[in-house]
Chain A
Amino acid sequence: MIKTILQRILQLIPILFIVSTIVFVLTRIIPGDPAVTMLGPQAPVEAVEELREELGLNKSIGEQYILYLKNVLKGDFGKSYAYNEPVTKLIFERFPNTLILTAISLILAIIIAIPIGIISATKQYSIFDYVSMIGALVGVSMPIFWLGLMLVLVFSVNLSWLPSIGMGSLENGIWDYVSHLILPSVCLATIPAATFARITRSSMLDIIKQDYIKSLRSKGLKERIVIWKHALKNALPPIITVIGLQISTSLSGAILTETIFGWPGMGRMIVDAIENRDYALIQGTVLFIAFLFVFINLIVDIIYLYVNPKINYEGKKGGE
Chain B
Amino acid sequence: MSDSIISVKDLKTYFYLSTGIVKAVDGVSFTLSKGETMGIVGESGSGKSVTASSIMRLIQKPIGKIVNGEIIFEGKDILKMKNKELLDLRGKDISMIFQDPMTSLDPVYKIGQQIIEVIKVHQNVSKEKAKKIAIEALEMVGIPEAESRMNAYPHEFSGGMRQRVMIAMAIVCNPKLIIADEPTTALDVTVQAQVLDLLKDLQKKMGTSILIITHNLGVIWDMCDTVMVMYAGKTVEYAKTATLYEQPLHPYTWGLLDSMPKLSQDTEKPLKAIKGTPPDLKLTGNACNFHNRCPYAQEICKNKAPELIEIEEGHFAACHFQTKDKKLKRKEEV
Contacts and interface: CB of A to CB of B under 8 A. Distances in A.
Given A307-B108, A319-B155, A220 B103 contact: no
Contact of B58 (A214, A222, A230, A233): A214
A309 B114 CA distance: 14
Interface string B87-99: 1111110011011
A268 B106 CA distance: 46
B43 interface: no
Contact of A220 (B53, B90, B156): B90
**Which one of A210, A219, A233, A309 has the highest number of Cβ atoms from chain B below 10 Å of its Cβ?**
A219
A213 to B, nearest CB: 8
A216 interface: yes
Interface size on A, as a range, is 20 to 34
B107 A221 contact: no
A211 interface: yes
Interface size on B, as a range, is 20 to 34
Contacts of B53: 214
B169 A234 contact: no
Interface stretch (B116-124, B200-208, B278-286, B318-326): B116-124
Interface in B146-181: 153, 155-156, 166, 169
B155 A219 contact: no
Interface in A289-315: 307-310
B108 A233 contact: yes
Nearest to B53: A214
Given A210-B103, A211-B100, A219 B90 contact: yes
Interface in B111-148: 117-118, 121-122
Contacts of B105: 212, 215
B247 interface: no
A320 B101 CA distance: 14
B73 to A, nearest CB: 14
A218 B105 CA distance: 12
A211 B53 CA distance: 12
Q: Is the interface of A mostly helix, strand, loop or mixed?
A: loop
B108 A220 contact: no
B106 A212 contact: yes
Given A211-B103, A318-B155, A218 B89 contact: no
A293 B169 CA distance: 44
B56 interface: yes
B194 interface: no
**Which one of A220, A309, A319 has the highest number of Cβ atoms from chain B below 10 Å of its Cβ?**
A220
A146 B109 CA distance: 45
Contact of B169 (A210, A219, A318): A219
Given A214-B98, A309-B155, A318-B155, A221 B104 contact: no
B106 A230 contact: yes
Nearest to B159: A320
Nearest to B105: A212
Q: Which A-B residue pairs are the 5 nearest by beta carbons?
A: A220-B91, A220-B90, A219-B91, A211-B103, A218-B96
Interface of A: 210-212, 214-222, 230, 233-234, 307-310, 318-320
